[in-house]
Amino acid sequence: MSYTERSHLKYSEKLIELFKNPKNVGEMKDASVTVTEGSPVCGDVMQLSLKIENEKIVDAKFLSFGCAANIATGSVITEKVKGLSIDEAEKITMNDVANELGGLPQVKMHCAVLAAKALKKAIEEYKTKVLRRK
């Protein structure tokens, strides 16, 4: 019996895979912007770092203090933004993140919200600090 069959939360196989083998985890020393966002729902925290060149996201990393869904959404958001312009990335929603995972249990949707909010916060901070200097 797999974890998803035993769990009352009904996590998707993709979520379980990204929890066991997360992508883009770590600190980024040459980040253009790094932000930290927290969830008041459960106390999860995500740090998101983006490297941006010519208004295009060339790399993304995250650190997570949270549950399996938080780790998986961090993996998804960092994979989705690579290669996108900041304007394209800014359009990513919590539903895009959840759908990429094959859905999330309703009680874990706040993790998709957290990832999307961290991304929007990072882009906003980048625009405020970097683009306004130009």
DSSP 60-104: EEEEEES-HHHHHHHHHHHHHHTT-BHHHHTT--HHHHHHHTT--
Nearest to 78 by CA among 11, 27, 129, 43: 27
Tell me if residue 67 is catalytic: no
9, 16, 42, 63: the active-site residue: 42
CATH number for the domain formed by residue range(s) 3-133: 3.90.1010.10
Tell me if residue 111 is catalytic: yes
Over residues 47-74, mean pLDDT: 96
Q: Does the pLDDT value for residue 19 go beyond 70?
A: yes
pLDDT, position 131: 65
pLDDT band at residue 10, thresholds of 50, 70 and 90? Answer: confident
Over residues 38-59, mean pLDDT: 92
Which residue did the predictor score with more confidence, 130 or 59? 59
Pairwise CA distance, residues 112 & 3, whole Å: 21
31, 68, 111, 112: the active-site residue: 111
How far apart are the two ends of the chain, measured CA to CA in Å? 57
pLDDT, tens only, 80-132 = 999 999 999 999 999 999 999 999 998 899 999 999 999 999 999 999 987 67
